[in-house]
Amino acid sequence: MKIIDLSKPIKYNKSDPWFMRVKIKHKPHKKAKWILRAFGLPRRLYPKGFEGWADDTIKKMGVHSTTHIDAPWHYSATTNGKKSKTIDEIPLEWCFGEGIVIDMKHKADFDPITTADIEAFLKENELTIRPRMIVLIKTGRDKFNGTQDFHKIGTGMSAEATEWLINQGVKVMGIDSWGWDLPLPYMIKKAKETNDSELFWEAHLVGQRKEYCHIEQLVNLDALPYTGFKIAVFPLKIVGASAAPARVVAMMD
């Protein structure tokens, strides 16, 4: 079996936008020796060659700071009138399944991905989306991941395309851009210019009426064929959270 990692490394990167920076404290092996003394183990009873154990502390990391999966709770407190699921409430069955890549690298920055775009791709490549597939939208913008401009550029999903995928029976979908919608600064700019509140976060807000999850900040989708692989996207079990980091991997025989 071949396993392909689709997750961004979790580390401090000064080039990340300020709201995405992760801070991790790495503790060297020798620090553990002092902890053992505090627990009452005499130094003479340390195992031969014992250096202590390494340890690490995540000092700062938002649940949306790296490759992650958003729960319905992220989009809205309710979904179709019922309480939205938090990340720990998502059925694990949603998080593993047959994968399909939708190649949208040709889409220009700020040009939303439509249902027609997806249907044309599927027809051209003789592909079909089936219920419970995990759909990955490839935009190629992961090459900007780790730069100050990552959240400012790229394409994104429209509301109607998001709803169309849900109507095909898809519960989990993902993208290699910063976010599922068009870039945040662009959405804010257009909403102000047009005085149209419906332009802002339109794809996310499909979750107010239809239950689904999406993955953001995927990487390495170019390493995948369009079909013929499984996807695992299991989030950390953070009780009550809107999202969680996930180690997203593709598996191919």
Judgement on whether residues 33 and 110 belong to the same structural domain of the protein: no
Model pLDDT, residue 154? 96
Is residue 3 domain-resident?
Answer: no
> How far apart are the C-alpha atoms of 25 and 58, rounded to whole Å?
6
Determine the structural domain holding residue 156 and report its residue range.
68-252
Contacts of 8 (CB under 8 A, 6+ apart): 66, 67, 145, 146, 217, 219
> How far apart are the C-alpha atoms of 132 and 93, rounded to whole Å?
9
Judgement on whether residues 56 and 153 belong to the same structural domain of the protein: no
Question: How many domains is the chain partitioned into structurally?
Answer: 2
Model pLDDT, residue 141? 97
Is residue 29 domain-resident?
Answer: yes
Which residues in the chain show pLDDT less than 70? 32-33
Judgement on whether residues 37 and 141 belong to the same structural domain of the protein: no
> How far apart are the C-alpha atoms of 86 and 29, rounded to whole Å?
37
Q: How many helices, marked H, and strands, marked E, lie in the chain?
A: 5, 12
Q: Residues 192, 174, 60, CA angle at the centre, nearest 5°? A: 75
Model pLDDT, residue 40? 78
Model pLDDT, residue 89? 98
SS3 label, residue 102: strand
> How far apart are the C-alpha atoms of 71 and 74, rounded to whole Å?
6
Model pLDDT, residue 95? 98
| Both tokens assigned to 98 | 């047959």
Judgement on whether residues 39 and 78 belong to the same structural domain of the protein: no
Judgement on whether residues 74 and 28 belong to the same structural domain of the protein: no
Work out whether strand 213-216 and strand 172-175 pair parallel, antiparallel, or are unpaired. Answer: parallel
What's the whole-model pTM score?
0.93
Is residue 55 domain-resident?
Answer: yes
> How far apart are the C-alpha atoms of 128 and 108, rounded to whole Å?
25
Work out whether strand 134-138 and strand 96-103 pair parallel, antiparallel, or are unpaired. Answer: parallel
Model pLDDT, residue 75? 96
Give the domain CATH number at 178: 3.50.30.50
